[in-house]
Amino acid sequence: MFASLANRRRFSDLSEKEVLALAIASEEDDGRIYATYAERLRAGFPDTAATFDAMAAEEDGHRARLIALFQQRFGTVIPLIRREHVAGYYSRRPVWLIENLGIERIRREAARMEDDAADFYTRAAQASTDAATRKLLGDLAREERKHYDLAEHMEADHRTSDARAEEDDRARRQFVLTWVQPGLAGLMDGSVSTLAPIFATAFATQNSWTTLQVGLAAAIGAGISMGFTEAAHDDGVISGRGSPIKRGIASGVMTAVGGLGHALPYLIPDFWTATTLAVAVVFVELWAIAFIQNRYMETPFLRSVVQVVIGGVLVLATGILIGGS
């Protein structure tokens, strides 16, 4: 890491020729990023994709103006200098890291990109001594500041009055189908189905260590089973529920979390202290599930309470009765 930092140039040490070359490379990269966003979003969010197409075209226009100025001042050979060659220069997050986080996250990333570019052009203009270069960089700084607002107007040209709302609603539904629904199913399964074996073991043995071992086995085993089952039973192509890997991760992790919540209190050696804490955790889990159902699945809260809390209490009581008999 230190060797990498040592090999970078400071921005203040760059010549005007190198600053222009850096700006050209940055505009090329940003144009590619916007074009990639547009391509990835085209099938599900065509109106936002059209906006990113327009933003990519704007970046290409900036690049052309910078190249024209560079050729006028320094000739046709543009030195290769990129963001990673300059210490402290703004970076771009990989497209693959952003694209899976939802359309709103992509829009926020685009706004951040424009702010970064505007700051760069402002600094570069202040450091420039050539009048034409200073003017162009200042103009680009102002354009980048307005670019995201311009993109919003561009989007209005490509969409009907309610298309943005429809896209947002579609994105929310996709988030619910891919992450919330399988995660909630896993949390319910892990929280409720492990109650009986864990508390039956607890009251049968009255031993914290044994109960912890059973709880860990039940929670982790259930998580692995639920994760593979969710990933294998539906590839998401026809149902539209999204990536089976994402759904499997959501279901498996939340199943394990649901079971571990009331198993981990048995790390406490004193059995009755651990059991009291585990029962309290159970009630927190059940109310949390009822809240998530109401918040994301639009299930009436009273029905959620009846389905989850009362059902969970009955399973808990079954485990206690069987273990204590």
Between vectors from CA 304 to CA 313 and to CA 306, what angle results, nearest 5°? 45
How far apart are the C-alpha atoms of 156 and 149, rounded to whole Å? 11
For the range 86-89, what are the long-range contacts, defined as Cβ-Cβ under 8 Å and sequence gap of 24 or more?
A: 86/8, 86/9, 86/10, 86/11, 86/14, 86/22, 87/5, 87/8, 87/9, 87/10, 87/11, 88/10, 88/11, 89/11, 89/22, 89/120
How far apart are the C-alpha atoms of 86 and 157, rounded to whole Å? 38
| pLDDT digits (tens), the chain, 325 positions | 334 445 678 888 889 999 999 999 999 999 999 998 888 888 878 888 888 898 899 999 999 999 999 999 999 999 988 888 887 677 777 776 666 666 777 877 787 788 888 888 988 898 888 999 999 999 998 888 776 565 555 555 555 545 566 666 667 777 877 888 888 888 988 888 898 899 999 999 999 999 999 999 999 999 999 999 888 877 665 456 778 888 899 999 999 999 999 999 999 999 999 999 999 998 898 888 888 888 877 677 787 777 777 888 888 888 888 888 7
Enter the tokens of residue 160: 């009907």
Average per-residue pLDDT in the chain? Answer: 83
**Using an 8 Å Cβ cutoff, are 190 and 218 in contact?**
no
